[in-house]
Structure 1
Amino acid sequence: MTIEQATLPAASQKLDRVLFGDNQFFGVNHMSEEKARAQSMRFQHADDIMAVLDDALDAGVTTFMCTTHDRIGEIADRVRGNPDRYREFAFLPCMPYAHKYADAVTELGMLGALKRFLPEEGAMNAMLRGGKSIATKDIEGLVTLLVDAEMAMFRGTRTPVIWLQNVVSDLLLGLGFVDAFAMFANHVRSKYGAEPGFITMNLPMLLPVLERAGIDTPLVCANINKLGFRMSGGIEAYRASLEERPFRAVAMSVFASGAIPAREAIEWVFSQPNIESVVFGASSRSHIEQTVRLVREYAP
């Protein structure tokens, strides 16, 4: 594949102003390991996750930006099973879920791990494609195979955007493997009719690389907050990117893991140029409702 082939046209998917994330469900907290452990214990079952998603839906949040953790497959089953309740509900899958693959490769080896995660339909064809990809170092074949495997759990649900996780985005960025971004974008658009999104911990460095890959006005999610918390390259470089680069920004870590009061955080982030959406995680109805109210107040 050449870089020029990365310019397949795709309709831009308009995002809601506020997106719901899943860090709290799987023990991810960037400020407190103790809190992360407590959250992980609380959300061991799909019923517990579903209760919080129902609170978010009742508050008007219809978009769930999530990893491809095995438990999310159970959530997708619930959504498929109640189409009236979840008619407007959308998943924004973020892939790959690195821990899942690392554990499987350790346990089963590379080919065994691929076989485990293959979609059921066309498994033999996909398996042969995976074997050929490994044997010939055909990276494009592996990219498409793994995306298809991750997307199997979302069959029959709405997935208007598919995200490349920062663990891969930033690895590709460090390796200088520009064409891999184009491979991902092309496959997401052509097979799933979805818009490709890219999560990164270094927004200023990623944007010019996506431009080189031929991805116009990319959808990019990054830490954007008043304190510069986990914003690699510094807050001024992020501001310059927001002002000067043609891309669509989704802000995460807007509260800096609780270090910024909610009103101050939301007011600041929507005072920056080019912010399309914010993604946040919460485990209580009151926190969800408060965030939604603030976004509605401050989002232009």
Structure 2
Amino acid sequence: MTIAAHHADNATGSEPVVLDRLLFGDNQFFGVNHMSEEKARAQAMRFQTTDAIMEVLDIAYDAGVRTFMCTTHERIAEVVARVRAEPERYAGFQFFPCMPYAHKYANAVTDYGMIGALRRFLPDEGLIATAFKGGRAVARKDVEAMVAMLVDAEMSMFSGVSTPVVFLQNVVVDLLLGLGFHEAFAVFARHVKEKYGAEPGFITMNLVRLLDALDEVGIENPIVCSNMNKLEFRMCGGADDYRAALAERRFRAIAMSVFASGALSPREALEWVAESPAIESVVFGASSAAHIRGTCEIAEDVWPTWPATSEAKEAN
């Protein structure tokens, strides 16, 4: 089954999206490193051009990685445009958008003011109609309409490419958890499914609490991305709670920070992950060909079924 056909089936809810074992992240492209500010600055300098980003994505693609789990940073629009323009070169490539990119909104408010920032991020489906919709949402406290408007604004850059899973970023997920506003998760999930034929995903720094909230609002077997690694690096609540959740709760787990920001070797990290069959995927970031190819080779060794698709396997 092609990704396009699978995406269409998912719109009807007939079957879940198949997650690849390895998902490629974008932290390294935008100067995010949880252990070293110096490395973060060096990476930010290196990836100032789209060509530099595409060079690394090409290495990952040629190594068999087919999924790019990315923020909605403005630069990603340029990456999407490159992929959209070369469908044969990037056959089977898909994006997992993660929204919102909080710094983008904060910077826009600083540069353009509140109203100017809203206008800047309205989707291209009619400025007046969308603005009116947003105005009614504020006046009536219509959360569903406001969420839909903001998601549509973020998703506009991904027109014409495959986006089978759309994630809500942890900066919002964990804020909503703290506020107890769990219904917002259901609002997000409904809109993503109905408008984009995609499955909703959630990124969190508090796995167990999020699973409780999603159960409360009726989201079954959710896709959840959270820190999971051998060293318990940034694992809120500790490894015991995570092991219990993986063993007892029904959700589709994506592990991030598996290398503990460089404290673990790829083999040691992935062997630990492979011990838990409940973890379906790992999202990792890398900027060197050796690291990317080495990680893919290790993944194939410890997870015999990776890559998930026969098309990706044949491409190698």
Native 8 Å contact 1:243 1:273 kept in 2: no
1:89 aligns with 2:87: no
Aligned counterparts, 1:248-259, within 5 A = 248-259=252-263
* Distance (whole Å) between structure 2 residues aligned to residue 289 and residue 173 of structure 1: 37
1:42 Cα deviation from its structure 2 partner: 0.1
- Partner residue of 1:47? 51
Aligned to 2:35: 31
CA offset at residue 9 of structure 1?
4.5
What is the 5 A alignment of 1:120-139?
A: 120-139=124-143
Q: Secondary structure at the match of 1:14?
A: coil
Query: Distance between the aligned counterparts of 2:49 and 2:63, measured in 1?
Result: 22
Per-residue CA deviation, residues 13-41 of structure 1 (Å, 9 max, x unaligned), is 11111000000000000000000000000
Is 1:268 aligned with 2:272?
yes
Instruction: Report the equivalent of 2:173.
Output: 169
The one-letter code of the counterpart of 1:290 is G
SS in 2 for 1:149: helix
SS of residue paired to 1:197: strand
Between the two proteins, the alignment pairs up a number of residues equal to 293
Tell me, in whole angstroms, the C-alpha distance in 2 between the residues paired with 1:222 and 1:242. Answer: 12
Decide which of 281, 288, 295 is 2:285's aligned counterpart: 281
Residue-by-residue CA offset, 1:39-84 (whole Å, 9 max, x unaligned): 0000001000000000000000010000000000000010111111
Q: Does 1:11 align with 2:15?
A: yes
- For the residues of structure 2 that align with 1:130 and 1:115, how far apart are their CA atoms? 11
Counterparts in 2 of 1:94-113, with a 5 A limit?
94-113=98-117
**Is 2:294 the partner of 1:293?**
no
CA shift for structure 1 position 104: 1.5
Q: Distance in 2 between matches of 1:36 and 1:182?
A: 35
Q: 1:222 aligns with which of 220, 226, 246?
A: 226
Report the equivalent of 2:314. Answer: none
How much does 1:213 deviate?
1.2
2:218 maps to 1:191: no
> 1:154 maps to which residue?
158
1:10–1:195 contact (8 Å) kept in structure 2: no
- Residues 206-245 of structure 1 mapped to structure 2, 5 A cutoff: 206-245=210-249
CA–CA distance in 1 between the matches of 2:261 and 2:230? Answer: 12
* Stretch moving more, 276-285 or 111-120: 111-120
For residues 126 and 302 of structure 2, what CA distance do their matches in structure 1 show?
A: 48
How far the C-alpha of 1:105 sits from its partner, in A, is 2.2
Give how far 1:297 is off.
1.2
**SS of equivalent residue, structure 2 residue 183:** helix
Letter in structure 1 aligned against 2:106: A
- Asked if the contact 1:111/1:131 (under 8 Å) is kept, the reply is no
Partner of 1:4: none
Any conservation in 2 of the 1:188–1:196 contact (CA below 8 Å)?
A: yes
Sequence identity (%)? 65
The aligned residue for residue 3 of structure 1 is none
In the TM superposition, residue 204 of structure 1 has moved relative to its aligned partner by: 1.1
TM-score, normalisation: structure 2:
0.90
Counterpart CA distance in 2 for 1:272 and 1:241 is 11
Q: Distance in 1 between matches of 2:197 and 2:113?
A: 32
The answer to whether the aligner puts 1:142 opposite 2:128 as a matched pair is no
For each residue in 1:238-285, what CA deviation from the matched residue of structure 2 results, as whole angstroms up to 9, or x when unmatched? 110000000000000000001011111100011024010000000011
Which of 73, 77, 81 is the aligned partner of 2:81?
Answer: 77
Are the aligned partners of 1:114 and 1:130 in contact in 2 as well (CA < 8 Å)? Answer: no
Cα gap change, 1:195/1:10 in structure 2, threshold over 3 Å: closer, same or farther?
Answer: farther
Question: Cα RMSD over matched residues?
Answer: 1.2
Match of 2:250 among 222, 229, 246: 246
Kindly provide the amino acid, as one letter, of the partner of residue 282 in structure 1.
Answer: A
Q: Is the contact made by 1:21 and 1:64 (CA closer than 8 Å) also made in structure 2?
A: yes
1-structure distance, mates of 2:281, 2:292 = 15
CA contact (8 A) 1:201 1:223 kept: yes
Distance, in Å, in 1 between the alignment partners of 2:139 and 2:114 is: 12
